[in-house]
Amino acid sequence: MLLRAAVVAALSLTCVACAAVSPEAQSDSPKMLVGLGAPVPAAAETQNVATERGDAADDPEIWVDPKNSDRVVIFGTDKQAGLYTYDLAGKATAFIPDGKLNNVDLRDGFATPQGERVLVGASDRGRMGVALYLMNPATLTVSPWGLAKLDLTEPYGFCMGRRGDDFITVTNGTDGQVRQVKIAVGADGAMVATEERRFSVGSQTEGCVVDDAKGVLYIGEENVGVWRYDLDPASTAPRVRIAEAPSQMLKPDVEGMSLLREGEKTWLIVSSQGDSAFAVWRVDGDAPIYRGRFSVVSAAGVDGVTGTDGVAAHAGPVGPYTAGLVVMQDDVDDLGEAVTTNRVRQNFKLVDWRDVKSTLNLD
């Protein structure tokens, strides 16, 4: 574990260095000053990632100890540098300098010879695959575990699911190709990756999320909309487009996705990067029900969210967030509530799920 303060100097990019970075270093968001969804206040924010003057912070994920909801780890990628962990105060608690990690996801209860661990994965655009990590839930220590190599043009979007005792990773590329891979522990304790299926969405895709309970995979095709697939690799059921883009719900690019399970209700949250908003559907029934859009605005000294990218959500108590927490990437981390399009720093914003429910009248 390397603390953030120890890596800032080595990982921060100057403007000169940014000129040599791939086009992916340049954000494709319009950097709008105000999102067009119903306003929801920001509750808190993380420290910004070390990379400056480039498209850096990308995707968060939330882990909550099922036995103690005050023990929380927020994961966040710096797509030019590596993987961060944060506490609920937004302080960076650790950093793994693994390079170009784009999207991150996790699942609890992964059996290893050392006991159950939290399996964490991230799409790795530098080493061309999925970087896998194990977090010890007792110590919250995150350790690199292995790399599942993939024959994608560029590993980009990533999500993880669980089907019975199987742990599944889904990785997509900038050309719309998708690889679904099962992750297991070998006899020697090493990582074993087995491809289950491959398919093409059609064009550039990134955001995805798995509904373990329903065995469903949601994927965002950035300029087309949101697709629903059966997670079962043997399924012959056709995919279903549950939302179009552009539309009143989504303005390209379609970006991050997350599911929030609240009792019998399951909510799908999707980043609408084109107008700095988040669309919400209820998806526990036979057909998705669209319930509205929200944007995160400045409050209590925390600037609002523009150029939305990755998003994560967790229902139930998450520290002081008694009903749930939503975390999302912010393309421009302004100082306080000042508004500017001069993107120098990026970070992640925290939002109280109660405020989203109240604003959108979710029931």
The CATH number assigned to the domain holding 262 equals: 2.120.10.30
d(CA 34, CA 246): 19
pLDDT at 308: 87
Cross-strand pairs, 318: 321
As separate numbers, helices (DSSP H) first and strands (DSSP E) second, the chain gives 3, 25
Contact 172, 153 (CB under 8 A): no
Contact 158, 131 (CB under 8 A): no
- Total domain count for the chain? 1
Nearest to 12, CA basis, from 50, 53, 57, 46:
50
| Angle, alpha carbons 34-331-322 (nearest 5°) | 80
pLDDT at 15: 32
Walk along the chain (363 residues) and give the pLDDT tens digit of each residue: 434 333 333 333 333 333 344 555 555 555 566 789 999 999 999 999 998 877 899 999 999 999 999 999 999 999 999 999 999 999 999 999 999 999 999 999 999 999 999 999 999 999 999 999 999 999 999 999 999 999 999 999 999 999 999 999 999 999 999 999 999 999 888 999 999 999 999 999 999 999 999 999 999 999 999 999 999 999 999 999 999 999 999 999 999 999 999 999 999 999 999 999 999 999 999 999 999 999 999 998 999 999 889 999 999 999 999 999 999 999 888 876 666 556 578 999 999 999 999 999 998
Pairing of strands 191-200, 177-185: antiparallel
pTM: 0.91
Cross-strand pairs, 280: 269, 292
pLDDT at 334: 80
Judge if the upstream peptide bond of residue 288 is cis by omega within 30 degrees of 0. no
pLDDT at 20: 46
**Domain range for residue 129?**
4-360
In Å, how far are 33, 84, 110, 301 from 333, measured between CA atoms?
Answer: 12, 17, 35, 12
At 16, which helix (H) or strand (E)?
A: helix 15-18
Contact 280, 360 (CB under 8 A): yes
Say which residue the tokens 């967790």 belong to: 314
